[in-house]
């Protein structure tokens, strides 16, 4: 029998985030995800990527963002009282230091397999996730967290942070020789996420300052100049590279509305941590989020188009799980601050779409991709590649604040 999880409509649309039945649904959904991804643990160290059934995909390399996101997610689960054992956190932290960390050249390699380093590139995208893992582990009390934070920040300072621009450059070979002049929004957006989490965990003002500088560029300059959409790709001088098209998953052409959801939520987190200064940040966050909702929602079948052209028309219509999860987090954050009637409509619409099409009610976890007819597809992903996006969709709405989610989750269990 399929184990379905009732969403439960609250008595009034304004009650979604406080309704006890919906909150129980969120906790149960998060717990089911942690239970499914426990099978990621690999004997001898590291993690498996899992298929739909939760079985190891033994030919898949272990990539840096997978290792770090498991650490981050399980650290949040521990704070929420949904993860009892530290096994995943401990194993991930150990593997980051013993395997991903490059003892010869410094930094953290992108991918490993049974023979050793499968992809030795040094990517800003991967390194900011190391910082995120360290910061979340520190909040969860891991003894090696500070060591990891200090090590990766030394690398970020030396190789990735461009002080003149207030932005992160992107990529090097394993020995730190350059192989491109590419600059990207995605690494910087996740850099904001990592820096804000590191500020929350350590109190170091440098993290908050740098996150604010990155946000100034993308929200203060780029988004207003491009119809409140976010071009993904840039040249070395940080001019938009409109012709760029790279990896179809990590560097697709055009704009990615799912990233507008993420950046809008992160802007509100920064604004809250910075003392809620005047200047319109909250309004800008709403503009980013609402533009992506309007542009990308598939009115006929639900879900979001993956990428858009610069005029907002659909480029890649494929529907993945992660933009839905990020929209849930973004809308929940707006609802905590200044709820509008449309927010409650969107929040219910997104969870009902997820419940109908994306959540695996029989086994746990979320299916990552839908075909045009709503059947499951595997054009970009194998199995269920990630807990990070979907578990945060269940956890973000549980905490009352716009920032300090880790501490907010811990407070729920006090």
Closest CA to 182 of 257, 109, 251, 128: 251
Buried/exposed 226-237: b ≥16 CB within 10 Å, e otherwise: bebbbbbbbeee
Smallest CA-to-CA distance from 193 within 131, 239, 240 is with 131
| Residue 9 banded pLDDT, cuts 50, 70, 90 | low
Residue 5 within any structural domain of the chain: no
In 267-310, beta strands by DSSP E: 307-308
Q: Is residue 3 part of a domain?
A: no
Question: How large is the average pLDDT for residues 227-232?
Answer: 97
Q: Is residue 37 part of a domain?
A: yes
* 9 within domain boundaries: no
- pLDDT tens per residue, range 56-96: 999 999 999 999 999 999 999 999 999 999 999 999 999 99
Report the alpha-carbon distance of residue 31 to residue 182 in Å, rounded. 39
The pLDDT assigned to 1 comes to 28
Helices (H) and strands (E) in the chain, counts: 14, 13
**3 pLDDT above the threshold of 50:** no
* 171 pLDDT higher than 60: yes
Within a domain: 131: yes
Selecting among 100, 127, 159, 389, the annotated active-site residue is 389
pLDDT at 13 over 90: no
- According to the model, what pLDDT value does residue 311 have? 96
- Assess if residue 243 is contained within a domain: yes
pLDDT of residue 114 exceeding 70: yes
DSSP state of 338: S
Domain count, the chain: 1
Mean pLDDT along residues 325-343: 97
Average pLDDT over residues 114-120: 96
What pLDDT digit, counting tens, does each position of 241-289 carry? 999 999 888 899 999 999 999 999 999 999 999 999 999 999 999 999 9
- CA separation for the pair 190, 195 (Å, rounded): 8
Q: Provide the CATH number for the domain around residue 369.
A: 1.50.10.10
Q: Please, what is the average pLDDT of the chain?
A: 95
Catalytic residue among 22, 100, 259, 357: 259
- Name the pTM for this structure: 0.97
Is residue 2's pLDDT more than 50? no
Q: Is 105 a catalytic residue?
A: no
Q: What's the domain range around 266?
A: 15-412
What gap in Å lies between CA 409 and CA 374, rounded to an integer?
34
pLDDT at 8 over 70: no
Residue 10 in domain: no
Q: Does the residue 2 lie in any domain? A: no
Question: How far is residue 391's CA from residue 359's CA, in Å, rounded to a whole number?
Answer: 11
């Amino acid at each position: 029998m399929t184990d379905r999880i009732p969403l439960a409509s609250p008595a009034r649309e304004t009650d979604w985030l406080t309704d006890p039945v919906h909150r129980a649904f969120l906790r149960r959904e998060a717990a089911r995800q942690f239970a499914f991804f426990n099978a990621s643990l690999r004997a001898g160290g590291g993690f498996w990527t899992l298929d739909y059934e939760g079985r190891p995909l033994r030919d898949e390399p272990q990539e840096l963002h997978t290792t770090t996101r498991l650490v981050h997610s399980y650290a949040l689960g521990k704070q929420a009282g949904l993860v009892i054992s530290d096994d995943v956190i401990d194993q991930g932290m150990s593997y980051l230091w013993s395997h991903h960390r490059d003892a010869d050249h410094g930094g953290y390699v992108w991918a490993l397999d049974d023979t050793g380093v499968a992809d030795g590139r040094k990517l800003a995208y991967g390194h900011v996730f190391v910082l995120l893992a360290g910061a979340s582990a520190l909040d969860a009390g891991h003894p090696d967290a500070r060591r990891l934070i200090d090590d990766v920040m030394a690398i970020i300072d030396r190789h990735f942070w461009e002080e003149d621009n207030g932005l992160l450059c992107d990529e090097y070979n394993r020995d730190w020789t350059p192989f491109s002049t590419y600059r990207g929004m995605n690494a910087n957006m996740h850099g904001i996420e990592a820096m804000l989490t590191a500020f929350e965990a350590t109190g170091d003002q440098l993290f908050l300052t740098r996150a604010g500088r990155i946000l100034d560029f993308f929200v203060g300059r780029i988004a207003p100049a491009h119809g409140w959409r976010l071009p993904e790709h840039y040249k070395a001088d940080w001019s938009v590279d409109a012709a760029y098209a790279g990896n179809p998953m990590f560097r697709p052409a055009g704009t990615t509305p799912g990233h507008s959801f993420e950046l809008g939520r992160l802007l509100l987190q920064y604004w809250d941590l910075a003392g809620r200064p005047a200047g319109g940040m909250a309004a800008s966050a709403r503009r980013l989020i609402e533009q992506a909702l309007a542009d990308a929602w598939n009115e006929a079948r639900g879900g979001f188009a993956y990428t858009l052209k610069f005029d907002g028309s659909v480029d890649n219509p494929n529907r993945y799980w992660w933009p839905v999860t990020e929209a849930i987090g973004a809308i929940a954050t707006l609802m905590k601050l200044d709820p509008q009637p449309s927010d409650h409509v969107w929040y219910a619409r997104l969870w009902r779409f997820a419940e109908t099409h994306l959540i695996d009610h029989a086994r746990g976890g979320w299916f990552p991709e839908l075909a045009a007819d709503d059947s499951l597809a595997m054009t970009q992903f194998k199995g269920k590649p990630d807990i990070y996006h979907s578990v945060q969709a269940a956890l973000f709405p549980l905490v009352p604040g716009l920032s300090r989610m880790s501490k907010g989750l811990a407070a729920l269990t006090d």
